[in-house]
Amino acid sequence: MPPLSTSNSQTLEIGAAYIRVSTDDQTELSPDAQLRVILDAAKADGFVIPKEYIFEEKKGISGRKADNRPEFQRMIAIAKSQKPAPFKRLYLWKFSRFARNQEESTFYKGILRKKCGIEIKSISEPIMDGMFGRLIETIIEWFDEYYSFNLSGEVMRGMTEKALREGYQTSPSLGYKAAGEGKPFLIDEMTYPIVEYIFRTYHDGRDMTATARAANAMGYRTRHGNLFDRRAVYRILTNRFYNGEVVWNGITFQGSHETRPAVTSIYENVQNRITSEYRPLKRREASANAHWLSGLLTCSVCGSSLGFNRSNNQKKRPDFFQCWKYAKGIHPGSCCVSARIAEQTVLSSLENAMGQNYLEYEYIPKTAVETNGEELALKEALDRIAIKEQRIREAYENEIDTLEEYKQNKIRLNVEREQLTAALEQLRQKIQQSTSAPPSQAEVMARVSCVYQVLSDQEVDNETKANALRAICKQIVFDRETRRFIFYYYTS
């Protein structure tokens, strides 16, 4: 066999492909055609694209907003999941497939290029390396964004005209189905009883949370198949469509769709009750460490966190923790405890440990924590070798590569495997040699005493207390039925 050349001795690289088809581009290649030209280009560059790194959006997904593209978000998440990134180059048919919003394009390309070290290549728009190439790429993105913005304006004008002519074009509400061609929506006999049940239950006196809980107990689900919560019930009760009105982008008209007396006869009474009893539902700003137990207390019923609730009237009802799923009506079992009782129980648990001079805990060696990511990365790299071997074998069997090319690729992969295996063995020897002994009970109790002093000090802020407790405690489960707290302590 002749000696391998320098270019042939390089290891094979893993690539990825992102594919999205725009419905407004008549010159767009089909997904299969995009994938075919991408795979050909990748092979010519010495890249292999495994099936799991082919990210293809469903047909018609818009490129305006990255949040609305599940495959795009999955691609970004996988790229950020480990260092180095699982693939080295991302192939696109056109830059506009990546994004048609220049702000998002710049943001996500920055993540891939700077944080993940991933190259981005457009098959149909080859550009040179360096700053001049980036300038050309930016100009292409400008044109793509202008095209998308202009198209959006045309579509919006058409939809506005349709609404002014009293055409139906929004997604059907729960209990209705579209008739097509702008015709009035039709009642869905399978789901409209859910709407009637929610209106009747709330009208008869239950609050929104209890109504959600009752609907879930009946086996009812939202339009997207989820459990009902307070917000979902609020949206149904305040939806004017059920009273015959159609609202779209500030345009309102009396619709010609069918409504039923079971809802319309009590609709105004429901609105009056909502106005008198409830403040509008607003998204609350999250605050870090609202309480030093926030995030540690969990519900024994469903395993969810107990959210901290600050009371406006401490005499009537002090601050408390409540399972957030129960608070939203998602599960029937209440799990609530006052913040004062939770605080006292934590302090009592630590006092009891100090009194007995003993604490039952889980030992987590520091070395294991520090090297776990490195070991995982090496194992995943070895797994990718197997994928590469499968790809080169398929390329040979399908007569894409010659026998000589297959042999050379096989040699390169064997060398790469040997290097990774040696590195993994060295890491394991390092772990075995440097594993420290568990701390003594005296050391553990010293830590417990320190945490107790921090939690007992009224002058210490929430964040400091939260960090101190998390240094020795992983989780605290509260069982409402038995009124018991189960503590999971650890040390490293």
Cα separation, 437 vs 421, whole angstroms: 28
Contact 103, 68 (CB under 8 A): no
Cα separation, 40 vs 401, whole angstroms: 12
Cα separation, 334 vs 301, whole angstroms: 8
Q: How far apart are the first and last CA of the chain?
A: 54
DSSP per-residue letters across 69-120: -HHHHHHHHHHHSSSS-S-SEEEES-HHHH-S-HHHHHHHHHIIIIIS--EE
Cα separation, 101 vs 111, whole angstroms: 16
434 is known as an active-site residue: no
Strand 245-248 and strand 119-122: the pairing is unpaired
Burial of 41 (0-12, 13-18, 19+ CB in 10 A): buried
Q: Which of 121, 139, 142, 116 is nearest to 40 (CA)?
A: 121
Which 8-state DSSP code applies to residue 305?
B
Q: Which of 7, 22, 348, 492 is catalytic?
A: 22
H-state helical runs in 248-365 = 261-277, 324-327, 339-356
3-class SS of residue 480: coil
Cα separation, 30 vs 14, whole angstroms: 24
- Which amino acid appears at position 70 of this protein? P
Q: How many CB atoms are closer than 10 A to CB 399?
A: 7
Q: Which of the residues are catalytic?
A: 22
